[in-house]
Structure 1
Amino acid sequence: MSDILKIGKYEFTSRLIVGSGKYPDFQTTRDATLASGSEMITVAVRRVNITNPAEENLMDYFKDTDVKFLPNSAGCTTAEEAITLFRLTREATGIDLIKLEVIGDTAKTLYPDVIETLKACEVLARDGFTIMAYTNDDPIVAKRLEEAGAAAVMPLAAPIGSGLGIQNRFNVVFIKEAVNVPVIVDAGIGCASDAASAMELGADGVLTNTAIAQAENPILMAEAMKHAVIAGRMSYKAGRIPKRPFATASSPVDGMIF
């Protein structure tokens, strides 16, 4: 049976999204991305070149693949900055599938500024962008982003790059119940089991960068993430047994003759 992830007008068979930062070079970025099975790689346009063909360009490394580029607005601290960045990026590349992130605290937590994110989302949605919006793990804000035009919401699991895993499992469930667009758990994933846990909670996908890029073996970790997301999704769809405070026999004794 097909299990397609639909984000706006786009469809994906993989539910894992990877990042492009913190790798030693573009070749390793490519190798890890392909090992992950991901069909989407997010790129901080202010930090990684995808718009200037005169310089080494990450897009050149993926020309022979089906991997889509997902420009993000990392480094932007206001709605105006993010809006301008994406308009220029679309003009240069033709890409309209974007990851919107507006950071409020650039010194320590890298937490999003949800007010500025909402402002930017409303404008960019009117401009015709397909928006995946990075946000905190708040179901109220997630619903507001959906109403503002986001095609997917991306609540953080923990601070960006922390590797702490999901710090509030209940909020992932609450957000999933609150919105009718895909929920992609983003930021804070540290290992494959974190990705599997996110999927078992009902997330529609997972985005991870640092956990792969800074692993001792990025290629192997990328492959582990691929299988973790698949296993977590299958586990969620299969339906786990309820948790009970006491033991239950694997072989029932009801009806047995002693």
Structure 2
Amino acid sequence: MNLLSNNLTVDPSACSENSWTISNKVFKSRLMLGTGKYKDLELARRSIDASQASIITVAIRRLQNANNIHGDSLLQILPWNSLWLLPNTAGCTTVQEAIRVASFGREICKRLGQEDNTFVKLEVIPDPQHLLPDPIGTLKAAEYLVNRGYVVLPYIFPDPILAKQLEELGCATVMPLGSPIGSGQGLQNLENIQIIIDRSSIPVVVDAGIGTASDAVKAMEIGASAVLVNSAIAHANSPISMANAMRLGVSSGRCASFAKRMSKSDRAISSSPLTGLLS
């Protein structure tokens, strides 16, 4: 029996299509993963595999030698023929440092065989306690990198004005934080993130603070293009199970976004008809 109405105007398979585009490159998964904080490399590899993520971000400052990347165990164990490396400038506190690390990341992509990979996740974070990104520094570094052909994905506090300025500069996405990095507090800035999503014509990726799969669901429900997760998976009791949960959460939230939730009511509304009742 076909339970779908013949008058259905939205393709029911559309919500399950997870492909999306950044700077003309198509990715199969809307779940992006970080690589830090795992107990060991094998657990990281299996968690990434369970997530079915396409984009994997690596903190370039952790790497020791650009000329010997194949000796680096992290880069060695991941299948870069099927994964896309997103170098990030985590740990950079100044504009100049972020630009230098971005250049380093570009060289690593080339050495891994991703010759056309000019992506960079831009982080400029001078605050060591709260790890909040520097908006002015991010704007300056983004402008420099965009003008030199980088595909820039800036990590920002959820400021709608800054997000629009970065879009106008030519950034490929904006990545507003849900809550502080590694805190697992969930989406504490939901209203601002919603404004950014509503005003953006580039993908919006919710990054930082996601603690469990329901946070990923909520981010996708409000229209985010993707989510980036690290600590919530790496610090879970079972990272592999949480990676799978995040994968399902992203797909579920996207379907709910397509479906559009029912209107809220300030009173109960019977789900059964009030006429034709048995006496």
TM-score range, shorter chain: over 0.9
> How many angstroms apart in 1 are the aligned matches of 2:73 and 2:170?
31
| Bigger radius of gyration among the two | 2
Trace 1:113-124 onto structure 2 (pairs within 5 A). Answer: 113-124=134-145
> How many angstroms apart in 2 are the aligned matches of 1:151 and 1:62?
25
Structure 1 26/148 Cα, relative in aligned 2: closer, same or farther at 3 Å? same
When the two structures are superposed, what TM-score results if normalisation uses the length of structure 1?
Answer: 0.94
1:175 is paired with a residue whose SS is helix
Cα deviation, 1:115-152, whole Å, max 9, x if unaligned, reads 00010111111111111110001111100111122100
Percent of matched pairs sharing the same residue: 46
Q: State which of 123, 126, 150 in structure 2 corresponds to 1:104.
A: 126
Contact 1:142 1:178 in 2 (8 A): no
Contact 2:105 2:120 in 1 (8 A): no
Is 1:42 the counterpart of 2:54 in the alignment?
Answer: no
1:241 is paired with a residue whose SS is coil
2:174 equivalent in structure 1 = 153
> How many angstroms apart in 2 are the aligned matches of 1:244 and 1:85?
52
Give ranges in structure 2 of 5+ residues lacking alignment. Answer: 1-13, 111-116
Structure 1 175/218 Cα, relative in aligned 2: closer, same or farther at 3 Å? same
1:211 equivalent in structure 2 = 232
1:84 equivalent in structure 2 = 100
Cα deviation, 1:162-181, whole Å, max 9, x if unaligned, reads 00000021111100112110
When the two structures are superposed, what TM-score results if normalisation uses the length of structure 2?
Answer: 0.87
Give ranges in structure 1 of 5+ residues lacking alignment. Answer: none
1:74 equivalent in structure 2 = 90
Q: CA RMSD in A?
A: 1.8
Cα deviation, 1:152-206, whole Å, max 9, x if unaligned, reads 0000000000000000211111001121100000000001111111111111110
Contact 1:48 1:58 in 2 (8 A): no
Deviation at 1:237, TM superposition (A): 0.7
2:255 equivalent in structure 1 = 234
Instruction: Count matched residues.
Output: 257
Deviation at 1:251, TM superposition (A): 2.2
Contact 2:85 2:109 in 1 (8 A): no
